[in-house]
Amino acid sequence: MKNTLYAAAVAFSVFACGPAPKTDETKTPGSPLDKAEMAVMAVHDEVMPRVDDMMKLKKQISTRIAKLDSLEATPTERVRADEEQAQGRLIVRRLTEADSLMFAWMNGYNGDTLKKLPEAEALRYLDGQQKKVDDVKSKINQSIQQAKAYLNQ
């Protein structure tokens, strides 16, 4: 049930945060504002599909942690398994944080209000949003890379 609700939330978010329709009063094609908004949304569109990858990796790591938990081992092997479990839990936490950052950014992004702002203010807003979405991208990519490395060890 939890996975179904999460999948529905992801699907809703993907469709809900699409680019705003262009009208004559919004912006002119090729304007600095249009280009800045397109740059922000390009990063979003690049990393949004990776959310599904993160969910799959979290599941794989959680399965591995559970197997390690049920492992009958010598005390030395148990210590090693405990360390590996702790590392897996940390990576799952990082994947979860990256996922949360993505959805927090999407919920906080106010692209529809850009047309109401003076161009200079809208450009400042988009510059800040570019920095935020670049940070989200970095955290998503780092957490995926760490998860894949953990699973390949």
Q: Give the CA count within 13 Å in the CB-facing half-sphere of 78.
A: 5
CA 78, CA 69: separation in Å to the nearest integer? 9
Residue boundaries of the structural domains of the chain: 32-100+110-151
Q: Which of 153, 150, 144, 145 is nearest to 51 (CA)?
A: 144
Q: Is residue 47 a contact partner of residue 102, using CB atoms and an 8 Å limit?
A: yes
Q: Return the amino acid letter for 151.
A: L
The length of the chain in residues reads: 153
Instruction: Please tell me the predicted confidence (pLDDT) of residue 29.
Output: 63
Each residue of 43-77: pLDDT tens digit? Answer: 999 999 999 999 999 999 999 999 988 877 788 88
Token pair 């570019």 in the structure block, residue: 130
What is the tens place of the pLDDT at every residue in 88-112?
999 999 999 999 999 999 999 998 8
Give yes or no for residue 14 having a pLDDT over 90: no
11 contacts: CB under 8 Å, gap ≥ 6: none
15, pLDDT greater than 70: no
